Amino acid sequence: MSETEGAFNVPLKCTPEEYKHFVEPAMSEANKSNFPTALDIVTDGLNAHPASEGLLFLKAYFGYKLADTMSHELTILPKPIEALGNGVLMIDGAATTAMLVRFQEIVKMLAEAGTAIDELLQVNPNSQEVLAFKSYIEKKLQKLGQESDNMRLTFSNSPSIAGGFCIGCKQSISFDSQKVVFRRTSSSQMEVWHFPCFGKLGREN
């Protein structure tokens, strides 16, 4: 338990029964970085003991840790948007769609952690440590929301930037599933290619 308490300096207030049946097994899973199972155990505990301060805090903390783990996993996904130099931008439609879905899952998890913190503050409204944790989660939510909005805006604007047909093969482009390349041809004009077409023909033009 010291790892969780030390992270935000919040002593866990729970009964011996709560500690034995829920806190101990949940912390055992958390120490193995198995946060989904730890969160499930704590949620089961709250179904039986809905006003437990210790379990409410752990629900928020494990939710945050699960969201944090999911955020780190984003770094191993294919880059959805990548500048290739010389005014060329590659957008991977499938990767962008997958990342936006992942962003939504992370935001949902953080929002649920925030809800647990709000419930905890109803029980203990004067805890400065819990208020600090709430502020931290809100900042993470704001940052993720901004990143998601920026990516969604770039993605949704793609068809209107350069039309919906590939310069190379003249076929239509599915922006939500295909990898495409945008290339600026003048200060005000942009052309769009399927990524394979650009590899074959675009560099010759």
Average pLDDT over residues 51-62: 90
Instruction: Average the pLDDT over each of 27-31, 56-60, 150-154 and give the range with the smallest value.
Output: 150-154
Q: Is the pLDDT of residue 47 over 60?
A: yes
pLDDT, residue 162, reads 77
Residue 188 binned pLDDT confidence (cut-offs 50, 70, 90): low
- The count of C-alpha atoms lying within 13 angstroms of the C-alpha of 169, restricted to the half-sphere facing its C-beta, is 12
pLDDT, residue 205, reads 52
